[in-house]
Amino acid sequence: SLNKGTAFTAAEREALGLSGLLPRHVNTQAEQVTRVLENFRRKPSNLEKYIDLAALHDRNETLFFRVLADHLEEMMPIVYTPTVGLACQQYAHIFQRSRGVFISATDRGRIEDALRNWPEPDVRMIVVTDGERILGLGDLGANGMAIPIGKLALYTAAAGIEPTACLPVVLDKETIVFRELVR
């Protein structure tokens, strides 16, 4: 969440041991946004655009949210509906890294532990899906994770919710006793 990509100044590069690991030219965030948009717009399909944005989210969260907030009308159909449905159908194939908590029947009695494993200590907003009836596509189970990730990204971009305060969760509601969640 602290990565600035090629926007690290020369002094920051020196202090953080990044000298020689980045091209010499320091890009402004605006220059980075321009580069991201050029690459994004070259993608041949909306799913490729989704994957491109997910990769950006993983490597430079600040830039991801700048692009999303500044180009919300263009990005919303990729980050959420309609593309998120296709992303859910392909989620197991396009998964890059975990961006939420997956709770299944095997976590019974240990749900609190699973939630404590989330690295951010000050969660203020949770979006939960049970993976069922995702946009009329049926039960997609854990692949439904793209839904809470997308919603929370939009809450951050459009409403200013701090991304570190957000937690996407997938529940296997068929086999989990919900009392465990409200303890």
**Active site (catalytic) residues:** 80, 151
Give me the phi and psi of 45, to 5 degrees please: -145, 160
Bridge partners, 129 (sequence order): 170
- Please list, residue by residue across 171-182, b when 16 or more beta carbons sit within 10 angstroms of its beta carbon and e when fewer do: bbeeebeeeeee
3-state DSSP call for residue 100? coil
Q: Which residues contact 110 (CB under 8 A, 6 or more apart)?
A: none
Of 59, 54, 55, the closest CA to residue 5 belongs to 59
Assess contact for 148 and 101: CB atoms under 8 A.
no
Q: How many helices (H) and strands (E) does the chain have?
A: 10, 3
